[in-house]
Amino acid sequence: MQQILIALVTMGVGIAGCIAYFWGSNFLLDVIFPAYGKNATHNLRRSSAIRPWLFMGPVIIILTIYLVYPVVNSIYLSFHGSSGEEFIGLDNYIWLFSDEKFIESMGNNLLWLVIVPAASTLFGLLAAALTDRIKWGNIAKSLIFMPMAISFIGASIIWKFIYDYRGEGDEQIGLLNAIVVAFGGEPQAWITIPFWNSILLMIILIWIQTGFAMVILSAALRGISEETIEAAVLDGASPLQIFFKIKVPQIYGTIAVVWTTITILVLKVFDIVLAMTNGQWGSQVLANYMFDWMFRGHDFGRSATIALIIMILVLPVMIWNVSNARKDV
Amino acid sequence: MDNIAGKSSLLSWVVNVSALILVLLWTIPTFGLLISSLRDKDQLASSGWWTSLTSVERNLIERSAAPDEQVEKDGVYMLSGNVFKNGGEITAFGWSSKKPNGFEPNVVAEMRNGQTMSVATDGSYQLTSPKPFTGSRGKRIFIRSIEDPKFTLANYSEVLFAEGLGQSFLNTMTVTIPATVIPILIAAFAAYALAWMEFPGRAILLVTIVGLLVVPLQMSLIPLLRLYTNIGIGKDYIGIWMAHTAFGLPLAVFLLRNYIAGLPREIIESAKVDGASDFDIFLKIILPLSFPALASFAIFQFLWVWNDLLVATVFLPNTEETLVMTGRLREMLGSLGGNWEILTASAFVSIFVPLIVFFSLQRYLVRGLLSGSVKGG
């Protein structure tokens, strides 16, 4: 309880500090350049040139330290050895591309990149189309959306329980094996079967992300103008034709946004793999591999290099985002 | 659209059923976790949660008491006791693996060498023998029993008090509350400046922030950890608050700017004409009007920080006093891999608060998602 109190006090201090900063700096600015007297216009121009920087200041400083500097520093570290001290040129990169685990991670990441965004978007579209047409649509939406509130690690426990394996002959308490046995199959230790274990881990992320895709796609579907649909109905199009030929093409833009958002998430996925397999049995991915080299390998150079690879993979999406935003500004 | 569906009742039936299947697929995993966490430990370990409401009929092999507990009475040696530890009901029993369910309860079964075995419905058994029982272990008793479904909160009290999850819950709160509130304030000012103030470099700043939205967190960890060590912040709450604040800022600025830029120009201009300063406008007009956007971001950030494992692992020491819930769950998965009563209850404790936030404030979450993804970049 005392701890929460400390947290609350800190929060209070933090907020008070923020307010003191913003209020204080604005007050000072008004004192230094008063908007009256003989230099009023001059002062007003000065203060309105400075004020935006007071408002922006904390964000610029924090983002520079926490996001911009690390990018630069990671590039620096990737040319240095395990402690980050001695310069070793391209050795980290050379090591990386001949490292089996890295190649495995790249392969798995590509698999994740293809399957997870595709499946989540597809299920999201399906869920959006279905729930928009039923009376209990809002409840259905809530329930499909719910996994989004669950942590990756919590979700991992939920699904690890489903994939649980008991020796043959024992009663299976994992849902998947119970179903397999009910249909006369043999129970499997799913998590240890290469390739399929990656698919099973992907299912967890798909389960989490479908709700996100559904919410956004459903809003986009509802935004389609009625006229195009009515015209199609008059022309005798079937509901399926209307959906795939009239509605879906009109929301391609939104589908792209959903797809890329999930793509970025996939590149950073780490918790699920760490909790389920920790990269064993051929299921390693980049983010977890980087974590591995950071905490178990204690090699700053190598893990920074892996982080840079993730960054490079994200880059196309970043450029696309930025060019979209430029149109907006 | 509804009328199209309404025209064909078959179609509407198909739609309803498919939606139901989809919803079931998406809820069953969590539902199974909840049910399992409430089940009796032994039942959880021996049968699937989907059978938890039916009485479980099981074939078990128990052992009688060891021969050194035998009692002699009128030249007959007897072993007695009860096969159940937690109660149940016997439906059949037997003394050899060839006929494990060969006898009705209460029947006296003849064994080899004049020995007999009898098991009552309540599980109490009696073995008799004309000669003393020998060996070090008791006789095998094959039983078929029915156990009533048992539900309990014991798993929860165990994880909260014995497994240290209670402490972790507090730690998670300690991390989450400031890490949610602080970025909002900082971001709101910046969002206002980006939306309504004129200054050189505004467009570049905005575009940079959009770019930073997707910078992988992994990138920042090592440089920051080194930086923290160099300037001596060490692994402490202040370090993780700042880290979460920073990682949440791009989204916060982006969401809030989109919203604040959409506020009607007249309100802000008429306030300026009345001589209000930017600071006043921000505090008295912008902040109250942007409540929905602030709430959306707050929920995002809350869920993100609450559910985060990576940042907490890197910036908080891995000790009993500071381990957050996600970290604790990870440790449990490693060390208590098979103790599903602990894992399921712990997992449910950790997702309970986010679920409440989710269901009560879903409206804002959806609004935030939409303003971030559909309109903007």
pLDDT 10s digits, B339-373: 888 888 888 888 888 889 888 888 888 887 777 55
- Which of B186, B346, B359 has its CB closest to that of A59? B186
Mean pLDDT over each residue of chain B, to the nearest integer: 82
CB B141 within 8 A of CB B95: yes
Name residue B76's beta-bridge partners: B73
Q: Which of B221, B311, B300 is nearest to B256 (CA)?
A: B300
Which residues of B fall within a CB distance of 8 Å from A137? 19
pLDDT 10s digits, B288-308: 888 888 888 888 899 889 988
C-alpha–C-alpha distance, residues A286 and B321, integer Å: 31
Range B72-87 average pLDDT:
79
Predicted confidence at residue B162, as pLDDT, reads: 78
CA distance B377 to chain A (A): 5
Predicted confidence at residue B6, as pLDDT, reads: 47
User: Which stretches of chain A score pLDDT less than 70?
Assistant: 1, 3, 7, 169, 328-329
CB A284 within 8 A of CB A273: yes
Name residue B125's beta-bridge partners: B81, B119
Which residues of B fall within a CB distance of 8 Å from A303? 222
- Statement: residue B105 has pLDDT above 70: yes
- CA B42 to chain CA centroid, Å, is 21
- Whether B22 and chain A come into contact, CB under 8 Å, resolves to yes
Q: Containing H/E element for A28?
A: helix A2-32
- Whether B344 and chain A come into contact, CB under 8 Å, resolves to yes
Confidence of residue B86 (pLDDT cuts 50, 70, 90): low
Pairing between β-strand B108-110 and β-strand B116-119 as defined by DSSP bridges: antiparallel
* Percent of chain B whose pLDDT exceeds 70: 95
| CB-based contacts of A33, cutoff 8 Å, min separation 6 | A43, A44, A46, A47, A50
Which residues of A fall within a CB distance of 8 Å from B313? 295
Predicted confidence at residue B377, as pLDDT, reads: 29
ipTM of the complex: 0.85
Predicted confidence at residue A1, as pLDDT, reads: 67
Contact B347 A300 (CB under 8 A): no
Choose from A146, A205, A291 for mutation: most chain B CBs within 10 A. A146
CB A273 within 8 A of CB A131: no
Contact A325 B210 (CB under 8 A): yes
Contact A11 B182 (CB under 8 A): yes
Which residues of B fall within a CB distance of 8 Å from A172? 48
Confidence of residue B374 (pLDDT cuts 50, 70, 90): very low
- Which of A84, A137, A290 has its CB closest to that of B226? A84
Confidence of residue B1 (pLDDT cuts 50, 70, 90): very low
C-alpha dist (Å) from residue A41 to A36, A243, B199: 8, 61, 17
